[in-house]
Each structure stands twice: as C-alpha cells, then as structure tokens.
Structure 1
Amino acid sequence: MESIVLIKGKVKYQITLDPGVWIFDDRKVEIEAYFHAEKVEVDELEEYTIAASKHWEKEIREGSTMPPTLKTEKRFEKQRLLEGTFVIPFEPFLDNSVPDDNASIIIVETADHEHTFTLEEARSFAIGFSIDGKPIKENGPCYLYFGDGSNINNPIKDIRSFTLI
C-alpha cells in the first residue's frame, strides 16, 4: 500500500497528498460534524479582520494581557485527536493543482477500479484520513466521501490517485 496519493492529469501542478500529516492541518473536521453540521460559506479574510479588530479594540480599552494556560483544554484537544475520526475537504487540494480550463472529469483510481466524476462533484468531496484516532492502514491511505454524505457507511477505499481529464 502506498502512503501517498497523487492529483495528476490536466493540471498545472501535480500535487502529492500525504494523508499521514493531515492530523496537523487546521482544515481537518470530525466526520460527524462535517456531514451533519450546517454548511455556512465563510469569508476567511472577513473573519480575520473582525477578530483582529475586536482584539485591538480590547487592548486599547483594557491593555495587554497574557493568555492563561489551560491544561485541561490542551488535554481535551489531545484526547479528541487520539480518538476522533477526521476528514478534510478535497477542494483546496484540487484548487492548488490549478486544473486546466478544459478539464471537466476526474477519475478516482483505486487499487482495482476507476470511478468517474465531474469536476464539480469532486469539489464537494471529503477525504477521510483517520479512524478512531489512527491513520487508515487497511484499504488506505485515505477514503473518499461524497459531499452529501450518501456513502458515509461505504466510502471509496484504496485510493491511488486523482486524474483530471
């Protein structure tokens, strides 16, 4: 079993995905939260601007304070990472590969089969990389979930590459 997955084909940049390091990625989401939470479109720049403004306003009014150390919060986060089942959205990786303008199909190659989807369908994919806090070894290195969660109990497994045509 390979531990990396490629995005290749009609792309400007071939991307090598290593699901083993996604546990450190801030974009990871617990699988239940990803498929059962309300999807809200977030403008990251606007959120950052609002948060920074609130922070500066607080410092102007109250002065600078050092944040407290919360050992229990750190312990809870560690416990969540050791026991959680996580997915990561596929769209940022697809965007970073810069698909050609005429690419419209993506082929998901597994160990023994090829699955064909439109590029728009692929934008909603979620990639599972951790089950019960452990990297996916059996039928891994990652699983593919459809954006609507319709295959949450039967994901596409043994993924080897994503090829744009």
Structure 2
Amino acid sequence: MIVMIKGNVGYPITLDPTVWIFDDRKVELEKAFTEPEEQETFTSNFQKPPVNRSISKMEGEAYLKNSYVIPLHDFLNNAEPKADAAEVEFIKSNGENEKIALEDAKNGYLLFSLEGKPLREDGPVHFYYKDGSNQDNPIKYIKEIHIH
C-alpha cells in the first residue's frame, strides 16, 4: 500500500497512504471541489507537517465513514523536481500508465480513503484534478509517481 515518487527529482520519496487519515492536510472528498478558495488558501499556507494529536471519538467515527483526499502539492515539492521536470507519469498496477503536466499534478488530490476504507482493489491511491473535472473518472491503480 505504498506509493513511490521518483524520477527526475532531488529526493525520491516513499508515501504511506494508510497514515494520512491522521494528517491535518486531508480534505473530505465532497468538500475538495466545492470550496476552492478555502482549499487553495489552506494548501498554499500550510507550512509545517501535521502535529500528532489525539482524536476525539466523533472524529474517529467520521474517519470510518467519510472519503478523503490529500493535496499532492506538498509531496511533490518535498521530492524537489529538477528544473527541467515538466511531466508526471502515474505508473499503474493495471499497466495503463497515464501522463499529465507536473503543474496539474501539483494542483491535484490523491484519494486514499473511500467510505472509511483504504483503496485495496484499485488503489492504493486515485488522482483527481483540482477542478474536479475527472471526479467521475479519476486516475486509479496508481502505485508509483514518476517525474519526467
């Protein structure tokens, strides 16, 4: 259930989507595309990693039934794409890899929890464009993110 970011980067990164449920950067899927101003401000102003804190019983119950995405922006920036990097290729477990512009990837979201459950069958993550244009048809089966 891990996803690698590698390729034309300064630092290859290993992501573990199973721990993102406790990450303060996560966004409910239903809100990710309906509150663009709030999400944009949040993503651009987030400067430090999430703080470990205990969760309330109510939060825990919500985690078990809601669907969540996390902005891909921070992870890509932490990998430090090289100056000539322009494209992201999603390496998929079904063999049907897909390429998109690096800037589109930086502005997108990774779905990691669907109705409180990890994406075991067609995951571990799905990619959504920031504008929600592929909301009905996200990029699925992503096992690696390769920067070109």
TM tier, smaller: 0.7 to 0.9
The amino acid across from 1:148 in the alignment is D
In the TM superposition, residue 75 of structure 1 has moved relative to its aligned partner by 2.8
Runs of 5+ unmatched residues, structure 2: 48-54
Q: For structure 1, which segment, 109-118 or 34-43, has the greater mean C-alpha deviation from structure 2 after superposition? A: 34-43
Between the aligned partners of 1:128 and 1:21, the Cα distance in structure 2 is 13
Q: For residue 6 of structure 2, what is the aligned residue in structure 1?
A: 8
Q: Which residue of 1 aligns with 2:50?
A: none
Residue type of the partner of 1:138?
A: E
Task: State the partner residue of 1:129.
Answer: 112
Distance in 2 (alpha carbons) for counterparts of 1:143 and 1:116: 14
Change (3 A) 1:27 1:12: same
- For 1:104 and 1:38, the matched residues in 2 are separated by 24
Q: Which amino acid aligns with 1:6?
A: M
Structure 1 segments (4+ residues) deviating >3 Å: 42-45
Structure with the largest fraction of helix:
1
How much does 1:74 deviate? 2.4
Summarize deviations over 1:56-87 as a string: whole Å, max 9, x none: xxxxxxxxxxxxxxxxx923212211111000
Aligned to 1:18: 16
Cα gap change, 1:38/1:145 in structure 2, threshold over 3 Å: closer, same or farther?
Answer: closer
Matched letter for residue 149 of structure 1 = G
Report the residue type matching 2:116 in the other structure.
G
- Deviation of residue 44 (structure 1)? 4.8
Superposition pairs of residues 75-154 of structure 1, within 5 angstroms: 75-111=57-93, 112-154=95-137
Tell which structure's C-alpha radius of gyration is larger: 1
TM-score, with structure 1 as normaliser: 0.77
Q: Show the counterpart of 2:26.
A: 28
Considering only aligned residues, what root-mean-square deviation do their CA atoms show, in Å?
1.5
State the distance in 1 between where 2:57 and 2:21 align: 16
Matched residue type, 1:106: V
Structure 2-normalised TM-score?
Answer: 0.86
Q: Which runs of 5+ in 1 are unaligned?
A: 46-72
Tell me, what secondary structure is at the counterpart of 1:32? helix
What letter corresponds to residue 91 of structure 1 in structure 2?
H
Q: For 1:74, give the aligned amino acid.
A: S
SS in 1 for 2:14: strand
Aligned-residue identity in percent: 40
* Alignment size in residue pairs: 136
